[in-house]
Amino acid sequence: MGKAAIADHGLLADGRSAALVDREGSVNWWCPERFDAPSVFCRLLDSDGGHWSIRPSDDRFEVRREYLPDTLVLRTVFSTAHGEVSVTDGLVLEPGSRGHQIARRSPGVLVRVVEGRSGTVPLTLTYRPRFEYGRRTAYLLPRNGTLVATAGPTTLTMTSPVPLTCSGPDASARFAIDAGQRRTFVLAYRPTYHDVPPAGLDARDPLGDTVEGWRSWTGLHDYQGRYPDLVRHNALVLQGLTYQPSGAVIAAATTSLPERIGGDRNYDYRFAWLRDFSMTLRALWVAACPDEATRLFRWVASAVGQVDGQPVPIMFGVEGERDLTERRIETLRGYAGSSPVVVGNEAWRQRQLDVLGEVMDAAWRLRDYLDPLPPEVRDLLSSLADQAATSWREPDAGMWEARDAQRHYLSSKVFCWAALDRAVRFGDRIGDAADLARWAAARDEARETILREGWNADRGAYTGAFGSDKLDASVLIMPIVDFLPATDDRMRATIRRVEEELSDDGLLRRWDTDPAAFTLCSFMLVHCLALAGERDRAAAMFDRIAGTANDLGLFAEQVDPGTGEQLGNFPQAFSHIGLIIAAWELTTTEPAAV
């Protein structure tokens, strides 16, 4: 398998797709058409899955890298015995993209700029396109000074300033860069049967417009709180995981990266979950960038449609597709041999009642930006409240998407309560007097039931499901959604017990059999400790968790507390959302200056 670990990668994004580049200058993942489209590079999941590398020819080199300030344009600097060279990588935004109009129509172009910084550095380029998750080997055809790779519906056009040598389906080059020299490589995607020429770029500064596009977005936001640099960067990552034509936020840029090496809990996260969408809106509200709330809620209303008493769909494709049927890709061996590799996600069939409260809570938080409520959003919120009123007593798959059996998960009940509570607060903006009375009655009954059935006297804590003795980090949402104050005796006992049994120095597992710590849950623990008045300890824990990010500030879904290895799909929106919300809670609970 490829040598690069999950955390070795940096994210490139253009508002429609994402690419991952490792520390040694290899692009190991790219699905150029859109986030969930078939890949052209997937070395991340198999050594022969395709990649494009530009790196020093001598294996002995040191690496430092960073994003250009306030962008997702990545610069990697290689220091060798012969000198120093940098490679600047970026996915090109739509020309002229600025502010919240970034990349609605991405050109599908990956640019790599190689610059000599000192000495003369020999470099090696290796280009191995493998289309449709490694299933199809491309034909390479030199044409008009370019190298065209075509397989079925996909065509890549490489423009190279150095001669490329073709060997079957692969190409390579050896060249040297002197101090002050620059070489620009451009790889453009297009559908084979669409006669669309590659986008034109400024030869002198091919990434300049893209850099300005990213910076124009970050320049619109003025977060006033603790950890401003971290919050700004994490909000930028969430923007990078947003499919701009619709506003859908994907859970992660990858599929099938394992929760445990050698395990089979490998899922496709390149889709939009209502849960992630709602938490993303909350995070962007914290980061002072809620301007697109109406557009995003309209997307949700359009995607959900008329539910007619049926369970609310919990996830969609980036343009609102509902059928996300899962299938295995047998040609790929999986990251570090962890199979299966899957495309699609069977969770789309599940009932997950927590999404009702997730969406309603996000709407309530952003209510000032949804005034007046668009009719389709008003109808959506009213239908969510109706669903919560009739469904809160039912079992479901829970927010961790259990595939074995439905249960009466406490977190699902609490979020149903939250949906009803926010609906009552919205008042006549979404319902008439009879609706409000019905929602209020269901809210009160749900609360009484949760307090009675959710508490386990033997464990001295609220447990993950009614009648269960198993602790579950999801119960930490109780104070976060204002169901109970963190200072309540039972809630304080629950936080303490969860920390004692599921935490390793602040890195929190979802349950006791979880193979690694779940980064979102870890930040939820910070949030709860801050709400409980333990601000100093919460801040120290925040620093510990934030420190598990890679050198570019990116998180996967999970982290091994023993080794620090990042696991699961990458980068994971949930993890970045958790940091932003926890940072804000540490800001709002900070004592006022005297």
**Each residue of 368-383: pLDDT tens digit?**
888 889 898 899 999 9
When pLDDT is cut at 50, 70 and 90, the band that residue 199 belongs to is low
pLDDT score of 2? 46
Contact indicator for 416, 446 with CB cutoff of 8 Å: yes
**ω into 340 cis (within 30 of 0):** yes
Among 98-112, 211-225, 509-523, the range with the most confident prediction by mean pLDDT is 509-523
Least confident range from 103-112, 137-146, 207-216, 264-273: namely 103-112
- Give mean pLDDT, residues 396-405: 93
Whether residue 392 is predicted with pLDDT greater than 60 in this model: the reply is yes
When pLDDT is cut at 50, 70 and 90, the band that residue 196 belongs to is low
- Give mean pLDDT, residues 555-567: 96
β-sheet bridge partners, residue 52: 27, 127
pLDDT score of 579? 97
- Give mean pLDDT, residues 291-296: 71
| Whole-number average pLDDT of the chain | 92
Q: In the structure encoding, which two tokens stand for residue 221, read together?
A: 């936001």
Least confident range from 56-65, 144-153, 193-202: namely 193-202
Whether residue 73 is predicted with pLDDT greater than 60 in this model: the reply is yes
When pLDDT is cut at 50, 70 and 90, the band that residue 194 belongs to is confident
pLDDT digits (tens, 9 = 90+) for 513-540: 999 999 999 999 999 999 999 999 999 9
pLDDT score of 3? 72
Q: In the structure encoding, which two tokens stand for residue 561, read together?
A: 């507390």
pLDDT score of 45? 97
Is CATH 2.70.98.10 the classification given to domain 6-217? yes
Contact indicator for 307, 387 with CB cutoff of 8 Å: yes
pLDDT score of 594? 36
Burial 555-587 (b: 16+ CB within 10 A, else e): bbbbbbbeeebbbbbbbbbbbbbbbbbbbbbbb
Whether residue 295 is predicted with pLDDT greater than 90 in this model: the reply is no
Query: Does an H or E element contain 455, and which?
Result: strand 455-456
DSSP string covering 265-286: ---B--SEEHHHHHHHHHHHHH
* Residue 172 buriedness (CB in 10 A; 0-12 / 13-18 / 19+): middle
pLDDT score of 354? 96
pLDDT score of 127? 98
- pTM comes to 0.95
pLDDT digits (tens, 9 = 90+) for 472-514: 999 999 999 999 999 999 999 999 999 999 999 999 999 999 9
SS3 465: strand
In whole angstroms, what is the distance from residue 231 CA to residue 217 CA? Answer: 14
Instruction: State the first-to-last Cα distance of the chain, in angstroms, to the nearest integer.
Output: 58
In whole angstroms, what is the distance from residue 522 CA to residue 582 CA? Answer: 10
pLDDT score of 200? 66
pLDDT score of 106? 67
pLDDT score of 97? 81
C-alpha torsion 384→390→392→397, nearest 10:
-80
Q: Among residues 356, 470, 456, 497, which one has the least CA distance to residue 413?
A: 356
When pLDDT is cut at 50, 70 and 90, the band that residue 195 belongs to is low
Q: Among residues 283, 328, 111, 282, which one has the least CA distance to residue 203?
A: 111
pLDDT score of 144? 85
pLDDT score of 593? 46
pLDDT digits (tens, 9 = 90+) for 152-189: 899 999 999 999 999 999 999 999 999 999 999 999 99
- Give mean pLDDT, residues 559-575: 96
- Give mean pLDDT, residues 415-439: 97
Q: What percent of the chain has pLDDT over 90?
A: 79
Contact indicator for 526, 585 with CB cutoff of 8 Å: yes
pLDDT digits (tens, 9 = 90+) for 304-318: 876 666 778 999 999
When pLDDT is cut at 50, 70 and 90, the band that residue 204 belongs to is confident
Looking at the chain, the domain(s) classified CATH 2.70.98.10 span 6-217
